[in-house]
Structure 1
Amino acid sequence: MVKVGTFFAMSFGAFLFWQTMDKVHVWIALHQDEKKEKMEKEAEIRRMREEFYQQQKEKDSLA
């Protein structure tokens, strides 16, 4: 009976461990996606800002 209880407890513990690891994996993936999106937005802002500065330089040089 002790062996059956131990087996059940270990199986349940393994199940809880894998469920927790799955949730941690999903959280990490979402966090990385958020970081990637933030970096892409910042890069787009930098590109647009640089383009705007170039347009201003062209206008200033023509004027």
Structure 2
Amino acid sequence: MVRVATYFAMSLGAFIFWQSMEKVHVWIALHQDEKRERLEKEAEIRRVREELLRQQAEQRDSLA
């Protein structure tokens, strides 16, 4: 009886452990996706800003 109870407890513990690891894995993956999206947005903003600055410089050069 003790062996059955021990086996059941160990199986339950392993199940809980794997479920929690799955949740941690999903959490990490979501945060990596959010970080990637944020970096892509920042790169796009930087590219647009550089393009606008280049256009402004060209307009200043053409006026001068």
| TM-score, normalising length: structure 2 | 0.98
Q: Distance in 2 between matches of 1:51 and 1:24?
A: 41
Question: For residue 3 of structure 1, what is the aligned residue in structure 2?
Answer: 3
Listed as ranges, the gaps of 5+ residues in structure 2 are: none
Q: Distance in 1 between matches of 2:60 and 2:6?
A: 80
Q: Distance in 1 between matches of 2:51 and 2:4?
A: 70
Are residues 1:36 and 2:50 paired? no
Letter in structure 1 aligned against 2:15? F
Q: Distance in 1 between matches of 2:26 and 2:36?
A: 15
Question: For residue 48 of structure 2, what is the aligned residue in structure 1?
Answer: 48
Runs of 4+ in 1 over 6 A off after TM superposition: none
| TM-score, normalising length: structure 1 | 0.99
Letter in structure 1 aligned against 2:59? K
Among all aligned residue pairs of Structure 1 and Structure 2, give the percentage whose two residues are the same amino acid.
Answer: 68
Letter in structure 2 aligned against 1:21? M
